[in-house]
Structure 1
Amino acid sequence: MGKMIYLDNAATTKTAPEVVEAMLPYFTEFYGNASTVYDFAANSKAAIAKARQQIADVIGAKKEEIYFTAGGSESDNWALKATFEAYKNKGNHIITTKIEHHAILHTCEYLEKERGAKVTYLDVDENGFIDLDELQKAITPETILISVMAANNEIGTLEPLKEIGQIAHEHGILFHTDAVQAFGQIPINVDEFNIDMLSSSGHKINGPKGIGFLYIRKGVKIRSFVHGGAQERKRRAGTENVPGIVGYGLAAERANKSMKERTAKEIEIRDHMISRILTEIPYVRLNGDKVKRLPNNVNVSIQFIEGESLLLMLDNFGICASSGSACTSGSLDPSHVLLAIGLPHEIAHGSLRMTLSEETTMEDVDFVVDKLKDITANLRSMSPLYEDFIKKQKK
């Protein structure tokens, strides 16, 4: 096996060397607890304040509106559960979509079963977009929160955040977006889009794992999620993960500065890869919108093969990819996202997600497509379904 070609950046990214370097002193030199009063803690406090500003700048927020968490799943849980508790006297209705990450879907299920919430799960079209008219129709006097992801983690579709935010704002409803895949990849301005809460995670943008944030607009009445000490302005208890916060801040600044040039390159390579796959491998479907998608996302369904076999054979060539969300990779069930966009089970099972990074080259994706062609032909040669299909085509 030659070099590894890593195409699973939606699952996690490599921590950038400069990010690691920035974190190291806060493990060994400036290790003071930021909540203490002595001078030794000053470096930790200053580092947290700097990172908070670095992250706020990416989305046009105020630094005091950024609250650090352990990651995207905690941020999503906090946004939904705490909002429901804080606003339940106003209503108990939440609107979301059928293609959200399980951190949203399972939290909504919990709120329905254990807290008496009413949840509307909006359908999406064949490309994964919600219908804004259906969103309008779903709103009731009891609606307290709309939660729609910025970009789908599997098929890469970019939802119309600005229009959703405007609808929520006009009805006096809070708007939360899971931006775990979108933060640092596409421009987002919380004021322009009327976003009240936004979730993100450090390890998706070449930052460390185990650190995330929840943006909470000033004035939003949301309760603490983790109780204990007075950290994060008494809204999220627990000793601050200073090295993680420092790394996240630099990763956010780094992603923001390189966004335009980096994503332009990713789009060029992405579109080249999609074009080759669709023209050179028959009976393949692109999942998600061709244009309004994450710059680095390629998701295709290849008929007559199983996605698991495809992944194992790609791995033999040092190619790392996935069949969908890393959080459900151990499941034998087809992706809920692919079923929601209308794919039948047999086609959804043959899906492949490849997500690029700033290090991915045109030569890398050409190598991957060449191997994908060979693997697909090999797997189909052993497929009775494909053999029957070809026989019918010849009649």
Structure 2
Amino acid sequence: MKNIYLDNAATTPVDPRVVEKMLPYLNEYFGNPSSIHSYGRKARVAIEEAREVIAEFINCKPGEIYFTSSGTEANNFALSGISKTEFIESGRKSIITSLSEHHSVLETCDKLSTEGFTVRKSTIDKNTSVPVGNITGLIDDDTSLISIIHVNNETGIINNIEELSSQKPENIFLHTDGVQSFGKIKTDVKELGVDAFTASAHKIRGPKGVGFAFVKSGTPISPLIFGGAQERNRRGGTENVPAIVGFAEAVKIASDEMQSNYEYVKSLQKRFLDGLNSLNDKSFIINGEPLYFPYIVSVTLLSEYYNNDIEAVLMFLDINGVAVSSGAACTSGTLKPSHVLLNAGLKYEDAAGTIRFSFGTQNTPEEIDYTLEIIKKLLHKFRK
């Protein structure tokens, strides 16, 4: 049976070159990087070299990079750390985000709203993008922070962070969740014009369990995790040295191969979309069109034509050797319809029939062709 993995927006297979770099830090270079002896110093040098690699990749200073356990933690750290510290310094306590954010942003904002902060959520358009005018229209004198996702993790839509940065007042801090964009398209923080940027290693064939937050110098920030002086007193806890080393290696590979990877995955997406369009009798839709980000395709089966039992749909694909998801990995266990698509105007019954296909460099044209064959069978099986 085929074994095809098309859920790369959830996580990616670790590149063997990354594993090779990590292995020494799992055995002989095991020191605690906070220790002053030679074992510790070896680990400390590895972390600082990794920090320099990532800083160069996004065009910032190494001292502006803070390692975390994940993109989720990085988002929590950036939002809570900036908003709470800025409130202490200026008294401003209004945060603007959107209805299409990752749950790690939405739920952090919801928690902040229970602590006295005002949270305004921008509406999104039918393509799931966040119009800049919708955001700027929510700004008032109390606004301290805006957080808008760069590439949507469910539909692949790219939000115009540069335009937002140019239109917002200078005294309002801007954060973008770059978990899906980092390492796949250019993410120069100076060009984006952001004060905070967050990302994760396991989306670019690095290890799970490590992410980072870029926080621009001069941006108010306070710790989320206490109990140690690590990460310049901003993130307590012994650093995950092997994962950080692996993250840096994944970034080096991305730096060398990002453009060729983009073109290759774009060819896979085109092959997939051409095949989908040949099967489409207007009984399903492709979300977020036009698609400018080649790594994600979100397809919704319209409930007028299909029995939208998404668990059965995903199991059918899996039994036939194709691994995909219904949306964000963090919520796929619940199989609830996507909040992003519901907020973009889809009916509950339609949103409940959404499949996310996400591609990686390890996928092949032959895998795309096989997947299209299985989709053709799926459309017949679940047709009303």
Distance 2:340 2:255 in 1: 28
SS in structure 2 opposite 1:175?
strand
Q: CA separation in 2, counterparts of 1:101 and 1:19?
A: 27
CA distance in 1, matches of 2:244, 2:219: 24
SS of equivalent to 2:189: coil
- The answer as to whether partners of 1:185 and 1:295 remain within 8 angstroms in 2 is no
- Match in the other structure for 1:364: 367
Preserved CA contact (<8 Å) 1:47 1:246? yes
2:307 aligns with one of 291, 305, 308: 305
Shift of 1:268: 1.4
Alignment gaps of 5+ in structure 2: none
**Equivalent residues of 1:278, 1:284 under 8 A apart:** no
CA distance in 1, matches of 2:301, 2:172: 41
- For the Cα contact (< 8 Å) 1:128–1:289, is it kept in 2? no
SS in 2 for 1:177: strand
CA RMSD of aligned residues (A): 1.2
What whole-Å deviation, never above 9, does each CA across 1:107-152 have from its counterpart, x for those lacking one? 1111112x11111111111111212222221110000000001100
Tell me the amino acid that sits aligned with residue 142 of structure 2.
Answer: E
Number of residue pairs matched by the alignment: 377
Query: Gaps spanning 5+ residues in structure 1: where?
Result: 384-395
How far apart, CA to CA, are the structure 2 residues paired with 1:9 and 1:21? 21
Partner Cα distance (2:295, 2:131) in 1: 25
Equivalent position amino acid for 1:40 in 2: Y
Asked if the contact 1:278–1:285 (Cα under 8 Å) also holds between the matched residues in 2, the reply is no
Structural mapping, 1:269-280, within 5 Å? 269-280=268-279
For 1:218 and 1:348, the matched residues in 2 are separated by: 41
Alpha-carbon displacement from aligned partner over 1:342-391 (angstroms, at most 9, x marks no partner): 111111111110101001111111110111011110121xx3xxxxxxxx
Question: By how many angstroms is 1:332 displaced?
Answer: 4.3
Aligned to 1:92: 93
TM-score using structure 2 length: 0.96
Q: Distance in 2 between matches of 1:130 and 1:318?
A: 35
Quick one: which amino acid aligns to residue 319 of structure 1? Answer: V
Correspondence list, 1:256-271, <5 A? 256-271=255-270
Task: Please state if 1:181 is matched with 2:180.
Answer: yes
Letter in 2 for 1:8: D
Residue 111 of structure 1 aligns with which residue?
Answer: 112
- Whether contact under 8 Å (2:50, 2:247) holds in the other structure is yes
What letter matches 2:200 in structure 1?
S
Which stretch has the larger CA shift, 87-96 or 118-127? 87-96
Task: State the partner residue of 2:157.
Answer: 157
Cα distance between partner residues in 2 of 1:74 and 1:50: 22
The residue number in structure 2 matching 1:134 is 134
Q: Which residue in the other structure is 2:67 paired with? A: 68
Q: Tell me how far 1:232 sits from its aligned partner.
A: 0.6
- 2:378 alignment partner AA: I
Please tell me whether the aligned partners of residues 165 and 194 of structure 1 are also in contact (alpha carbons under 8 angstroms).
Answer: yes
Displacement, 1:53? 1.1
The equivalent position to 1:341 in structure 2, one of 326, 340, 344, is 344
| Equivalent residues of 2:185, 2:258 under 8 A apart | yes
Q: Distance in 2 between matches of 1:290 and 1:365?
A: 20
Whichever residue aligns with residue 307 of structure 2, its letter is: I
Residues of 2 paired with 1:256 and 1:286: CA distance? 30
Cross-structure match for 1:6? 5
Taking the aligned partners of 2:57 and 2:285, their CA distance within structure 1 comes to: 34
Question: In 1, Cα distance between the equivalents of 2:341 and 2:285?
Answer: 11
Q: Secondary structure at the match of 1:192?
A: helix
